A = this chain, B = another copy of it.
């Protein structure tokens, strides 16, 4: 191997190992860490983040990238190494703009923020979290300034999660979706309400857990290279391609919560597990972007997990597990219940028709916090009034309102819109898969997901972050991210369910 390339990779591997150690510390913080461990943990994460940042912005790394960019420019730009240099160069140019002191301060603020958020959520008291969020917003504004000039102060944050995307793009896409989805929800509202009251019966925790495990095992989640734990807010994390972990949150009195949560995170997890081993320990060993990642989780959770063929196979099994709750509910009723459209308070439990309205609310608030048109102190009020405007609902407390998502406490501002983009991509991919595997629905009806996962691995997972999101979507589906397939999917599905 080229001497310089070897030297570069050694640095890249070292940075990767530190970042994965930080991920382990983060996973532990969310799953098992005792209460009083938080301050020490914040210090550890801050220290490792500083070391990682220092190495990722070192002159020696910059020089190697610069020189290898020239040397490898002769190569086919699809070669892994050429792509690696491209991604490293992009990340390096971004990172050197951010001072190391800022990185440390931000890591500490978000670590403490998460703890405060968890406490605030338990006590349903936004005031506990407010000072932390103020600090985070303040730091995010500082962050944006490192990338000035920008079209919009929100752009630099967005770009961190979905490279190349602009605030104006997101606004345009949301606008385009809004009218169709509002129209659809209106039509549905005029139809008889679906009964899903049985979801609120008691479903034993342990049995729910076991059923979820059974489902994602059949999906193809690899337990030799992963595990599932419980956490306040479900998430997926990886410490390398051979250790990809998911978490879930089970509600004993609301079945869909844990069930679809597990499928969702398993979708993320299988993506990470499917990345080619040769990309390990480099920035290419990751999803192509947040939206592409979300396309995988939403595909398994919604397009598969809320489909009729899926429940044709799994409903009899679920019924057998919970006979007293479900023996009187027919497959048809159950299928309709998991697809019931109803404006709800909680994003993660929102149906596919209203989900994007939750995203709009959050995205507008984020943009407002950044551009100064919304103050942190006013957030509960702003949240509640937007909930009323978009969904006709009034959160009864902070916990089911402004405190429901962990993202801001982690410093994730700019993330939410990728959920909607993920939905769009999932439907684009789904149309393509059905062209390639005409018998797909039949396979699912028989509880066989092998061909589906193989297709996803081959066409998406194995590439990791080698291709940029728009490039990958175009490579796979023939066009860039576009809302039409998703709107077709929604309209067709709900027309049948609601007899529109």
Known: A239-B37, A243-B37. A44 touches B32 (CB 8 A): no
Q: Say yes or no: A243 contacts B36, CB within 8 Å.
A: yes
| Interface of chain A: mostly helix, strand, loop or mixed | helix
Residues on the B chain within 8 Å of A35, using CB = 224-225
Which A188-242 residues have C-beta < 8 A from chain B?
A: 223-227, 229, 239-242
Q: How far is the CB of A325 from chain B (nearest CB, A)?
A: 26
User: Chain B's nearest CB lies how many Å from the CB of A229?
Assistant: 8
A43 at the interface (CB under 8 A from B): yes
Chain B residues with CB under 8 A of A223: 34
* Distance in angstroms between the alpha carbons of A36 and B273 in the assembled complex: 11
Give the Cβ gap from A370 to chain B, nearest Cβ, in Å. 31
Question: Complex formed: what's the CA distance from A205 to B281 in Å?
Answer: 40
Complex contact B227–A40 (CB within 8 A): no
**A21, CB-defined interface residue at 8 Å:** yes
Which B residues lie within 8 Å of A44 (CB)? 17, 20-21, 24, 239-240
Task: Indicate whether A21 sits within 8 Å of B21 (C-beta atoms), given known contacts A47-B14, A242-B37.
Answer: yes
Residues of B within 8 A of A25 (CB): 21, 24
Beta-carbon contact of A43 and B13 below 8 Å: yes
Q: For the A-B complex with A17-B43, A36-B225 known, give 17 more contacts whose Cβ atoms are closer than 8 Å.
A: A17-B48, A20-B44, A21-B44, A24-B28, A24-B44, A28-B28, A33-B243, A34-B223, A34-B225, A34-B226, A35-B224, A37-B243, A39-B242, A40-B280, A41-B239, A44-B239, A44-B240
Let me know if A40 and B21 touch, CB within 8 A: no
Nearest chain B CB to A60 CB, angstrom units: 15
> Within the assembled complex, what's the spacing in Å between the Cα atoms of A223 and B24?
21
In Å, the complex CA distance between A36 and B244 comes to 10
Please name the residue on chain B nearest to A37 by beta carbon. Answer: B243
A18 contacts chain B at the CB level, 8 A cutoff? yes
In the complex, which residues of chain B have a beta carbon less than 8 angstroms from the beta carbon of A68? Answer: none
Cβ contacts under 8 Å, A51 to chain B: 14, 18, 51
> Is the Cβ of B34 less than 8 Å from the Cβ of A47?
no
Closest 9 A-B residue pairs measured CB to CB?
A: A37-B243, A40-B240, A17-B47, A36-B242, A17-B44, A36-B225, A36-B224, A35-B224, A21-B44
Q: In the bound complex, do residue B32 and residue A227 qualify as a contact, i.e. CB atoms below 8 Å apart? A: yes
Contacts of A40 in B (CB 8 A): 20, 239-243, 280-281
User: Copy number in this complex?
Assistant: 2
Q: How many residues of A contact B (CB 8 A)?
A: 39
Q: Which of A25, A28, A37, A242 has the most CB of B within 10 A?
A: A37
B residues less than 8 Å from A20 (CB atoms): 40, 44
Q: Which residues of A contact B (CB under 8 A)?
A: 13-14, 17-18, 20-22, 24-25, 28, 32-37, 39-41, 43-44, 46-48, 51, 223-227, 229, 239-243, 245, 280-281
- What are 8 A-B pairs with beta-carbon distances under 8 A? A14-B51, A17-B47, A21-B21, A28-B28, A40-B239, A40-B281, A44-B239, A44-B240
Contacts of A43 in B (CB 8 A): 13, 17, 240, 281
- Residues A225 and B37 in contact, CB atoms below 8 Å apart: yes
A245–B34 alpha-carbon span in the complex (Å): 9
Chain B residues positioned under 8 Å from A226 (CB to CB):
34
Query: For residue A27, which residue of chain B has the nearest CB?
Result: B28
Alpha-carbon distance between A36 and B35 when the two chains are bound, in angstroms: 30
In the complex, A32→B41 CA distance in Å?
Answer: 19
Q: Are A224 and B34 in contact (CB under 8 A)?
A: yes
Quick one: which of B13, B24, B241 contacts A47, CB cutoff 8 A?
A: B13
**Interface pair B281/A34, CB less than 8 Å apart:** no
Instruction: Kindly list chain B residues whose C-beta atoms are within 8 Å of the C-beta of A227.
Output: 32, 34
On whether the beta carbons of B281 and A41 are closer than 8 Å, the reply is no
CA distance A44 to B242 in the complex (A): 13
User: Complex: how many Å from CA A281 to CA B46?
Assistant: 14
Name which residue of chain B comes closest to A48, CB basis: B21
Residues in B with CB closer than 8 Å to A39 are: 242
Give chain B residues whose Cβ lies under 8 Å from the Cβ of A36: 224-225, 242-243
Residues of B within 8 A of A46 (CB): 17
Give complex CA distance A43, B32 in Å: 23
A35→B33 CA distance, assembly (Å): 22
User: A18, A47, A48, A245 — which one has the most chain B CB atoms within 10 A of its CB?
Assistant: A47
Separation of A48 and B13 alpha carbons in the complex (Å) = 12
> Which of the residues B37, B41, B241, B243 comes within 8 Å of A41, measured between beta carbons?
B243
Residues in chain B near residue A48, CB distance under 8 A? 17-18, 21
